[in-house]
Amino acid sequence: MSILLGVNIDHIATLRQARGTDYPDPVHAAAVAEMAGADGITIHLREDRRHIVDRDVELLAQTIKTRMNLEMAVTDEMLAIAERIKPAYVCLVPEKREELTTEGGLDVVGQMDKIEDACTRLKAAGIKVSLFIDADPAQIEAAAQVGAPYIEIHTGAYADAESDVAQQAELKRIAKGAKQAAALGIVVNAGHGLHYHNVGPIAAIPEFYELNIGHSIIARAAIEGLAPAVQTMKQLMLAARR
Ligand SMILES: CC(=O)[C@@H](O)[C@H](O)COP(=O)(O)O
Ligand SMILES: NCC(=O)COP(=O)(O)O
């Protein structure tokens, strides 16, 4: 079965925010990424608006031709924005202001009622809900209990592993989590820290429906352009499934 690529364009906006200019425009980047083969566009509207801002969400909702995956914290502000914008997908992620990037997965076990309420609100708005969680059996079980139709397994520990042994252990943990989630009837995605030299073993895990990849694609785009950066990543993912 094929595997889909969600291109996260947050760091196109990082470059724009660095100088307060109106370029590069995430709207342009989304169009280029989609024409190059992206199956979806992921954007993270952080509470501090450090990169993607509300204007980007509004315009991308009108211009994206594939589908929007809106990542957001579990707050009333963000839920209200999602209910108004109605992206195809919302991925609920943890956020800490001081973090450089997303650190751990969402703690579903410790806030079941809050996450279930958020899932209910988003489903009522016709939005498919995904939970960004670690490959932790209890968190996966909790995701099923709160009625999340999708999860996205956090691959950060795999990407940041400091030895082959540690990376292999993380890969095994992720593969086991994907199997557990699929057996519970959850559609399983993965993402965070994936790049051109570590994506293969993750893409080869048959339970994965989609990988959401951003930083490495945008970094490569700075050197060789966004279209080839997206095409190369997609080719690597599909090759891993052959
Ligand atoms: C949840 C996740 O891992 C990313 O999609 C997230 O967007 C990372 O945050 P930054 O894009 O701000 O690095
Ligand atoms: N949810 C992961 C994502 O959208 C992209 O994460 P990264 O590739 O920028 O680390």
Q: Tell me what the pLDDT averaged over the chain comes to.
A: 97
Q: What is the pLDDT of residue 103?
A: 87
- Give the side-chain half-sphere CA count within 13 A for 64: 29
- Give the H or E element holding residue 175: helix 164-183
Q: Give the whole-angstrom CA distance, residue 139 versus residue 106.
A: 8
Above 90 in pLDDT, residue 102? no
**Beta 4-8 vs 150-154: how paired, if at all?**
unpaired
Above 90 in pLDDT, residue 150? yes
Residue 150 lies in a domain: yes
Q: What is the pLDDT of residue 141?
A: 98
33-54 pLDDT tens trace:
999 999 999 999 999 999 999 9
Based on the structure, what is the number of domains in the chain? 1
Pocket mutation for ligand 1, best pick of 8, 69, 97, 218 (most atoms within 8 Å of C-beta): 8
Given the structure tokens 């429906």, which residue do they identify?
209
50-78 pLDDT tens trace:
999 999 999 999 999 999 999 999 999 99
Percentage above 70 pLDDT, the chain: 100
Residue 239 lies in a domain: no
Q: Which of 34, 152, 170, 192 is catalytic?
A: 192
Above 90 in pLDDT, residue 147? yes
Max Cα-Cα span within the chain: 47
Residue 235 lies in a domain: no
Residue 169 lies in a domain: yes
Above 90 in pLDDT, residue 100? no
Query: Three-state SS across 32-98?
Result: HHHHCCCCEEEEECCCCCCCCCHHHHHHHHHHCCCCEEEEECCCHHHHHHHHHHCCCEEEECCCCCC
Residue 66 lies in a domain: yes
* CATH number where 154 lies: 3.20.20.70
Q: Which of 34, 71, 207, 210 is catalytic?
A: 71
Ligand 2 centroid, distance to 190 Cα (angstroms): 9
- pTM here is 0.98
Domain span holding position 190: 4-227
For residue 211, give the 3-state DSSP assignment: strand
